[in-house]
Structure 1
Amino acid sequence: MCIGVPMKILSCDELVAVCRNDEENRDETVDLSLIGTQKAGDWVLVFMGAAREVIEPDLLESVLQARKAMFAALNGGDVDAYFADLVGREPELPDFLKNK
Protein backbone atom coordinates (compact mmCIF):
# COMPACT_ATOMS: atom_id res chain seq x y z
CA MET A 1 0.00 0.00 0.00
CA CYS A 2 1.26 3.45 -0.87
CA ILE A 3 0.38 6.42 1.32
CA GLY A 4 0.73 9.94 -0.02
CA VAL A 5 2.85 12.40 1.90
CA PRO A 6 1.78 16.05 2.00
CA MET A 7 4.79 18.21 1.24
CA LYS A 8 5.31 21.96 0.94
CA ILE A 9 7.16 23.23 -2.12
CA LEU A 10 10.23 25.22 -1.10
CA SER A 11 11.48 25.94 -4.62
CA CYS A 12 10.56 24.90 -8.13
CA ASP A 13 12.54 24.70 -11.36
CA GLU A 14 10.16 23.71 -14.17
CA LEU A 15 9.09 20.14 -13.34
CA VAL A 16 11.42 19.51 -10.40
CA ALA A 17 10.77 20.90 -6.93
CA VAL A 18 12.47 20.78 -3.57
CA CYS A 19 9.77 19.98 -1.04
CA ARG A 20 9.65 19.78 2.76
CA ASN A 21 8.13 16.90 4.70
CA ASP A 22 7.35 18.57 8.03
CA GLU A 23 6.46 15.28 9.77
CA GLU A 24 9.94 13.88 9.22
CA ASN A 25 11.75 17.23 9.04
CA ARG A 26 13.40 16.42 5.72
CA ASP A 27 13.62 17.86 2.23
CA GLU A 28 13.13 15.83 -0.94
CA THR A 29 13.46 16.45 -4.66
CA VAL A 30 10.05 15.80 -6.21
CA ASP A 31 9.02 15.22 -9.82
CA LEU A 32 6.14 17.52 -10.88
CA SER A 33 5.58 15.98 -14.33
CA LEU A 34 2.06 14.78 -13.45
CA ILE A 35 0.79 18.13 -12.11
CA GLY A 36 2.92 20.73 -13.87
CA THR A 37 5.01 23.59 -12.55
CA GLN A 38 3.93 24.93 -9.17
CA LYS A 39 5.06 27.83 -7.01
CA ALA A 40 6.91 27.90 -3.72
CA GLY A 41 4.49 27.65 -0.82
CA ASP A 42 2.05 25.29 -2.58
CA TRP A 43 1.33 21.92 -0.99
CA VAL A 44 1.39 18.69 -3.00
CA LEU A 45 0.62 15.05 -2.25
CA VAL A 46 3.71 12.98 -3.05
CA PHE A 47 3.88 9.26 -3.78
CA MET A 48 7.28 7.65 -4.32
CA GLY A 49 9.02 10.86 -5.35
CA ALA A 50 6.30 12.17 -7.68
CA ALA A 51 3.67 14.77 -6.88
CA ARG A 52 0.26 13.37 -7.83
CA GLU A 53 -1.97 16.31 -6.89
CA VAL A 54 -2.00 19.81 -5.49
CA ILE A 55 -3.57 20.02 -2.03
CA GLU A 56 -5.91 22.98 -1.82
CA PRO A 57 -5.59 25.06 1.37
CA ASP A 58 -9.09 24.15 2.59
CA LEU A 59 -8.23 20.42 2.42
CA LEU A 60 -4.68 20.61 3.77
CA GLU A 61 -5.56 20.54 7.48
CA SER A 62 -7.80 17.48 6.99
CA VAL A 63 -5.00 15.61 5.22
CA LEU A 64 -2.48 16.49 7.94
CA GLN A 65 -4.91 15.48 10.71
CA ALA A 66 -5.68 12.15 9.01
CA ARG A 67 -1.96 11.34 8.79
CA LYS A 68 -1.47 12.22 12.46
CA ALA A 69 -4.38 9.91 13.33
CA MET A 70 -2.83 7.12 11.27
CA PHE A 71 0.49 7.44 13.11
CA ALA A 72 -1.33 7.56 16.47
CA ALA A 73 -3.28 4.39 15.61
CA LEU A 74 -0.11 2.59 14.49
CA ASN A 75 1.44 3.42 17.86
CA GLY A 76 -1.60 2.35 19.89
CA GLY A 77 -2.67 5.92 20.59
CA ASP A 78 -6.04 7.64 20.66
CA VAL A 79 -7.32 8.93 17.32
CA ASP A 80 -10.44 10.72 18.60
CA ALA A 81 -8.62 14.03 18.96
CA TYR A 82 -7.88 14.04 15.23
CA PHE A 83 -11.51 13.46 14.23
CA ALA A 84 -13.36 15.62 16.74
CA ASP A 85 -16.05 16.36 14.14
CA LEU A 86 -16.91 12.65 13.93
CA VAL A 87 -16.79 11.65 17.61
CA GLY A 88 -20.15 11.20 19.32
CA ARG A 89 -22.33 11.05 16.23
CA GLU A 90 -23.64 8.36 13.95
CA PRO A 91 -22.50 8.28 10.34
CA GLU A 92 -24.99 9.79 7.91
CA LEU A 93 -26.15 7.70 4.99
CA PRO A 94 -26.11 9.23 1.51
CA ASP A 95 -29.59 10.12 0.22
CA PHE A 96 -29.75 7.18 -2.21
CA LEU A 97 -29.38 4.71 0.70
CA LYS A 98 -31.76 6.35 3.19
CA ASN A 99 -34.94 4.73 1.84
CA LYS A 100 -33.61 1.18 1.49
Structure 2
Amino acid sequence: MCVGIPLQLTKVVGTNALAHDGSQIDLSLVGPQPEGTWVLGFLGTARAVIDAEEAHLIAKALDGLRDVMTGGDGGDAFADIDARGPQLPPHLQAALDAGRITG
Protein backbone atom coordinates (compact mmCIF):
# COMPACT_ATOMS: atom_id res chain seq x y z
CA MET A 1 0.00 0.00 0.00
CA CYS A 2 1.23 3.48 -0.85
CA VAL A 3 0.49 6.24 1.66
CA GLY A 4 0.52 9.91 0.71
CA ILE A 5 2.61 12.17 2.91
CA PRO A 6 1.98 15.92 3.19
CA LEU A 7 5.18 17.78 2.29
CA GLN A 8 5.93 21.49 2.22
CA LEU A 9 8.25 22.60 -0.55
CA THR A 10 11.31 24.55 0.63
CA LYS A 11 13.27 24.82 -2.62
CA VAL A 12 11.98 24.48 -6.18
CA VAL A 13 13.98 24.23 -9.40
CA GLY A 14 11.70 23.55 -12.37
CA THR A 15 9.90 20.30 -11.70
CA ASN A 16 12.25 19.23 -8.91
CA ALA A 17 11.82 20.27 -5.31
CA LEU A 18 13.21 19.79 -1.86
CA ALA A 19 10.67 19.27 0.94
CA HIS A 20 10.86 20.40 4.56
CA ASP A 21 11.85 16.88 5.64
CA GLY A 22 14.81 16.84 3.22
CA SER A 23 13.19 14.57 0.65
CA GLN A 24 13.47 15.15 -3.10
CA ILE A 25 10.11 15.57 -4.82
CA ASP A 26 9.29 15.31 -8.53
CA LEU A 27 6.67 17.91 -9.48
CA SER A 28 6.02 16.61 -13.01
CA LEU A 29 2.41 15.63 -12.21
CA VAL A 30 1.48 18.94 -10.56
CA GLY A 31 3.75 21.34 -12.44
CA PRO A 32 6.16 23.86 -10.96
CA GLN A 33 4.98 25.24 -7.63
CA PRO A 34 6.19 28.14 -5.49
CA GLU A 35 8.24 27.50 -2.37
CA GLY A 36 6.02 27.03 0.67
CA THR A 37 3.40 25.05 -1.27
CA TRP A 38 2.05 21.89 0.36
CA VAL A 39 1.84 18.76 -1.80
CA LEU A 40 0.72 15.21 -1.19
CA GLY A 41 3.74 13.06 -2.00
CA PHE A 42 3.79 9.40 -2.97
CA LEU A 43 7.16 7.67 -3.37
CA GLY A 44 9.01 10.89 -4.19
CA THR A 45 6.36 12.28 -6.54
CA ALA A 46 3.85 15.02 -5.79
CA ARG A 47 0.40 13.82 -6.85
CA ALA A 48 -1.68 16.76 -5.64
CA VAL A 49 -1.35 20.30 -4.36
CA ILE A 50 -3.07 20.65 -0.98
CA ASP A 51 -3.62 23.49 1.46
CA ALA A 52 -2.07 23.77 4.93
CA GLU A 53 -5.28 22.68 6.67
CA GLU A 54 -5.52 19.47 4.63
CA ALA A 55 -1.80 18.83 5.23
CA HIS A 56 -2.41 19.18 8.97
CA LEU A 57 -5.38 16.78 8.93
CA ILE A 58 -3.44 14.17 6.94
CA ALA A 59 -0.41 14.46 9.24
CA LYS A 60 -2.70 14.11 12.27
CA ALA A 61 -4.31 10.99 10.76
CA LEU A 62 -0.89 9.46 10.05
CA ASP A 63 0.14 10.15 13.66
CA GLY A 64 -3.08 8.45 14.80
CA LEU A 65 -2.31 5.40 12.65
CA ARG A 66 1.19 5.19 14.14
CA ASP A 67 -0.36 5.36 17.61
CA VAL A 68 -2.85 2.58 16.84
CA MET A 69 -0.10 0.40 15.32
CA THR A 70 1.85 0.63 18.58
CA GLY A 71 -1.13 -0.26 20.77
CA GLY A 72 -2.59 3.20 21.38
CA ASP A 73 -6.13 4.34 20.72
CA GLY A 74 -5.35 6.94 18.04
CA GLY A 75 -6.60 9.82 20.16
CA ASP A 76 -8.61 12.36 18.20
CA ALA A 77 -6.71 11.78 14.95
CA PHE A 78 -9.92 11.12 13.04
CA ALA A 79 -12.23 13.62 14.76
CA ASP A 80 -12.99 15.38 11.46
CA ILE A 81 -14.23 12.11 9.94
CA ASP A 82 -16.15 11.14 13.07
CA ALA A 83 -17.88 14.54 13.10
CA ARG A 84 -19.17 14.33 9.52
CA GLY A 85 -19.91 10.61 9.30
CA PRO A 86 -19.31 8.33 6.33
CA GLN A 87 -19.42 9.79 2.82
CA LEU A 88 -19.40 8.15 -0.56
CA PRO A 89 -17.08 9.41 -3.28
CA PRO A 90 -18.98 11.82 -5.57
CA HIS A 91 -19.34 9.34 -8.46
CA LEU A 92 -20.84 6.67 -6.19
CA GLN A 93 -23.16 9.19 -4.49
CA ALA A 94 -24.39 10.28 -7.93
CA ALA A 95 -25.02 6.66 -8.93
CA LEU A 96 -26.89 6.04 -5.67
CA ASP A 97 -28.97 9.21 -6.12
CA ALA A 98 -29.81 8.14 -9.70
CA GLY A 99 -30.89 4.68 -8.52
CA ARG A 100 -28.16 2.88 -10.47
CA ILE A 101 -26.87 1.26 -7.27
CA THR A 102 -28.48 0.52 -3.92
CA GLY A 103 -27.13 1.41 -0.49
Answer whether TM exceeds 0.5 for this pair: yes
> RMSD of the alignment, in Å?
2.6
Q: Which has the higher strand share?
A: 1
**Counterpart code for 1:9:** L
The answer on 1:12 being equivalent to 2:7 is no
TM-score by length of 2: 0.74
- Number of equivalenced pairs: 92
Distance 1:83-1:93 versus aligned 2 partners, 3 A rule:
closer
Residue 68 of structure 1 is matched in structure 2 by 63
Distance of 1:13 and 1:34 partners within structure 2: 15
Please report how far the alpha carbon of residue 56 of structure 1 lies from its aligned counterpart in structure 2 after TM superposition: 1.8
Give me the identity figure in percent: 32
Please report how far the alpha carbon of residue 18 of structure 1 lies from its aligned counterpart in structure 2 after TM superposition: 0.4
Residue 49 of structure 2 is matched in structure 1 by 54
Gaps of 5+ in 1: 22-26
Distance of 1:55 and 1:10 partners within structure 2: 15
Residues 13-64 of structure 1 deviation map (CA, whole Å, 9 limit, x = unaligned): 110000123xxxxx01110000000111111111111110011233222111
Distance of 1:7 and 1:20 partners within structure 2: 7
Residues 58-92 of structure 1 deviation map (CA, whole Å, 9 limit, x = unaligned): 322211111111111111112132233527x9x46
Residue 84 of structure 1 is matched in structure 2 by 79
Distance of 2:68 and 2:86 partners within structure 1: 24
TM-score by length of 1: 0.76
Distance 1:76-1:14 versus aligned 2 partners, 3 A rule:
same
**Counterpart code for 1:8:** Q
